[in-house]
Amino acid sequence: MIPAPLALPRRRFVQGLGAGGLVAGLGLWPRLDAAAQAPVQPAELSGTEFALTLTEAPVNFTGRVRTATTVNGSVPGPVLRWREGDTVTVRVTNRMPVTSSIHWHGILLPTGMDGVPGLSFEGIAPGETFVYRFPVKQSGTYWYHSHSRFQEQTGLYGAIVVEPRGGERHRTQRDHVMLLTDWSDEEPDAIVAQLKKMSDFYNYNEPTAVDFARDASRRGIAQALASRKMWGQMRMSPTDLADVSGHTYTYLTNGAAPAANWTALFGRGERVRLRFVNGSAMSIFDVRIPGLKMTVVAADGQDVEPVTVDEFRIATAETYDVIVEPDSDRAYTVFAQSIDRTGYARATLAPRLGQEAEVPPLDAPQWLTMMDMMGSMAMGGDMAGAHAHDAHNHGAQESPAARPARHARTEYGPGVDMRVDTPRTNLDDPGIGLRENGRRVLSYADLHTLGGPIDERGAGREIELHLTGNMARYMWSFDGQKFSDARPLHFRYGERLRVILSNDTMMPHPIHLHGMWSELEDPAGKFLVRKHTVMVQPAQRVSYLVSADALGRWAYHCHLLYHMEAGMFREVRVS
């Protein structure tokens, strides 16, 4: 019998009850008081032939029974383990009353197998089976999710681990997937409706009278008043870090709420690989394991030069592999707090099931700075303009990421409430909330993909796009144009081109190009890291090279689900 909904206090709601990955309809429903003692391990499927069934089923993460979109009866879906060089066949059967799909995020494959309704195929109709079949050309950590409306938010996601044909570069004794997601008992359509009415509906960190008094005591009343006046005139919030917060979300690790104590086992002295996947709809996480250093060895499935850190930020849709070496016979907390510090996902790394370690308190949320709004203008002058001017005068190659912004005429309209004329290019910035926090924090500047770029050619041409929006109206776009009003971007087959992204908003945007790699450059134009998802920070400008080696129609979008649905989406045509 499905337990009746419980009235939960706020803190208990954030932590959840931990029974959520289990589906009542399959007879797997545990007693809620036992759920935290027996978190479910995600199922794993391996080989070359796979059968996945998509269904709607009841789940319980918070004490309230809700309907989820499940894969093989669970949230998350099973971990799929493939081998580089194999051809895999995945038969996906849709048992739901609505059309569905699966997109293989970061996997290079023919466009017809990419799983985006309206571009790659028509979707999987109710009662139908679609057969995905493609060669596996890469190795590493990836994931899959629905590309149909809001099904990703309601549970249709899972991890992919591709074994290298020659074995792992870094040998470990244990290997665990850490899939981070966000769950809400509210229907996604209701969340979007709230954001359309009041874009800061879920923001409980707005400045208060207490904050003003504290600011006045530190900076003086005049400066405190001037700051409030500035933000008020701009009709923007210095705490606009996440559209949807822990006040509706429960953050999950492998389908388990924080109270469930999902546990990854290790033996003392073992090397342990943790494969972090951010499969959330709208959440950016900052990850650390108090008491353990983490050595980052892969980003978005691609091996990088190892770099040891205390903490890293993982944007929506990104993946990072880290290796840890616990040298004590005790438990460690894997702590992933949301960027706005309203909640966290939590797991435990331990020698034995049932062990726990102290869960650290959430960091205090930080306000956005002038650098996050004005870019290089707030960093001591027009750095972008200075860089470009210097290159022109000395005949050097102009830094593509450091040029002054060129705004499209379509940016000047009701869908854009902010334009950054002097974007910053500092890839060594870990981002708001992580700056100078006393810990060694990963940044994009630390990442160097082994082997260099996949294509040594320089760019034959450039495409510049601005990430735009009107927060008050909850409108999101590229160059001020939502998807329905924009023409497709055309890549010529075989060309090497540079994509320049300039963020004209005060929110980070993880941008995902389907079908092709994005090879991020440093501000001087030197290759850094190969990625499938690139997070562009507020008022930041980045550039990356793309080899247009995949014919067909491809999606290109912000991976914050509600931003994508609101219009920050383009079609790329390679022909």
For 410-448, the pLDDT digits (tens) are: 999 999 999 999 999 999 999 999 999 999 999 999 999
Residue ending a domain, among 119, 154, 169, is: 169
Residue ending a domain, among 106, 141, 169, is: 169
Would 345 be classed as within a structural domain?
no
Confidence of residue 62 (pLDDT cuts 50, 70, 90): very high
pLDDT tens for each residue of 8-61 = 334 434 567 654 455 433 333 333 333 334 456 779 999 999 999 999 999 999
High-pLDDT (> 70) share of the chain, %: 82
How high does pLDDT run on average in the chain?
87
> In this structure, are residues 180 and 253 in contact, taking their beta carbons and an 8 Å threshold?
yes
pLDDT at 154 over 90: yes
Give the model's pLDDT for residue 374.
72
Give the model's pLDDT for residue 203.
77
Would 20 be classed as within a structural domain?
yes
pLDDT tens for each residue of 369-379 = 878 877 776 66
Would 263 be classed as within a structural domain?
no
CB count within 10 Å of CB 536 equals 21
Would 189 be classed as within a structural domain?
no
Residue ending a domain, among 112, 140, 169, is: 169
Taking residues 453-463, report their average pLDDT.
Answer: 96
Number of domains into which the chain is organized: 2
Would 148 be classed as within a structural domain?
yes
Give the model's pLDDT for residue 352.
96
DSSP states along 495-546: -EEEEEEEE-SSS-EEEEESSS-EEEE-TTS-EEEEESEEEE-TTBEEEEEE
CA-to-CA dists, residue 533 to 232, 317, 475, 505, angstroms? 33, 7, 22, 18
Give the model's pLDDT for residue 370.
73
Find the domain containing 53 and state its range: 10-169
Q: What is the CATH number of the domain that holds 411?
A: 2.60.40.420
pLDDT at 533 over 70: yes
Would 219 be classed as within a structural domain?
no
Would 261 be classed as within a structural domain?
no
Model pTM above 0.75: yes
Would 489 be classed as within a structural domain?
yes
Spatial separation of the C-alpha atoms in residues 398 and 456, rounded to whole Å? 18
Residue 210's H or E segment, with its range, is helix 209-219
pLDDT at 6 over 50: no
